[in-house]
Amino acid sequence: MLGAVLVGCGGGAADPSAPGTRTPGAKAAPPAPGHEAAPARPAQPARKAPPTLAPAAGGLTPVYTHRAKSAEKVVALTFDADMTADQGPRAARGEHFDNPQLIATLRRLKVDATVFMTGRWAEEYPDQARSIGTDPLFEIANHSFSHYAFAEPCYGLPTVPRPDMAADVQRAFDAFRDAGAVNVVPYFRFPGGCYDDDARRALAPAGVTAVQWDVVSGDAFAENADAVADQVLSGVRPGSLVVMHCTRSAAPVTERAIRRIVPELRARGYRFVKVSELMSH
């Protein structure tokens, strides 16, 4: 579950002597000046559920990579907000796992995007998680709580025990909710992109669609923004899904690369969409 639904509790019959109650058929007194009822607000349309893929054969968690052979020039930029469960001391010493300048640039350029956030990141930066998760430009997807690996080997990451995998994902959703994020979608990205069928089976109870990519930006630990931009611009096709990062210490040139990527792709006729829109066609 992504969150709890609150329902109103009905009471018993009203006490006719209680303030604000009246006998059936009696006329209500006019409101005092300045206390008139506010005009009724128009009903808001129900929020459309984000699309997901059906479970794969054997009940395995489905995996989505991109919209193949799309006739429409759309591209989804995704940003992994990485932070492992044990990196709090490094953050306390001043290491920046956030990247507010990148988010500000995406806002300035009006780029729809999906942020794959770890629960640990949301706990470290709850104000930013809430800001991203309440901005209509963005949606937050799940990148696990711990950013530990779900299959081995995986770039030296510690591994989540298989019985704990679904709980690790749920813990991240709980962290987003606790931070006040609203635009949360039931998508999951495996840390490091590492997975196997056992991990997909273990995640089935979480009810998520795993999301990978077809374009690797190469921004992790890169020092040349133009090289990152060149790699993205050369790889994007209609329907592509690009993986980038929202972790300043590990991807320091991403924001500068975005300043070139976005206008050049728009000049080619591309439109930026969230993963939920990419999957909806």
Closest residue by Cα to residue 115 from 281, 279, 276: 276
Euclidean distance between CA atoms 14 and 20, whole angstroms: 10
What pLDDT is recorded for position 69?
84
Q: In which residue ranges of the chain is pLDDT below 70?
A: 1-46
Q: Which two tokens stand for residue 269?
A: 């006729």
DSSP H or E stretch at residue 186: strand 184-188
Residue 170 is classified by DSSP as H
Closest residue by Cα to residue 75 from 281, 280, 265, 267: 265
What pLDDT is recorded for position 23?
33
Euclidean distance between CA atoms 159 and 148, whole angstroms: 5
Task: Tell me which residue has tokens 């008139």.
Answer: 36
Please give the domain boundaries of the chain with CATH numbers for all domains: 57-280 (3.20.20.370)
Task: Tell me which residue has tokens 């990579």.
Answer: 65
What pLDDT is recorded for position 27?
40
What pLDDT is recorded for position 70?
85
This prediction has a pTM of 0.84
Euclidean distance between CA atoms 63 and 121, whole angstroms: 24
- Express each pLDDT in 13-27 by its tens digit: 333 333 333 333 334
What pLDDT is recorded for position 46?
61
Q: Chain centroid to CA 161: how far?
A: 24
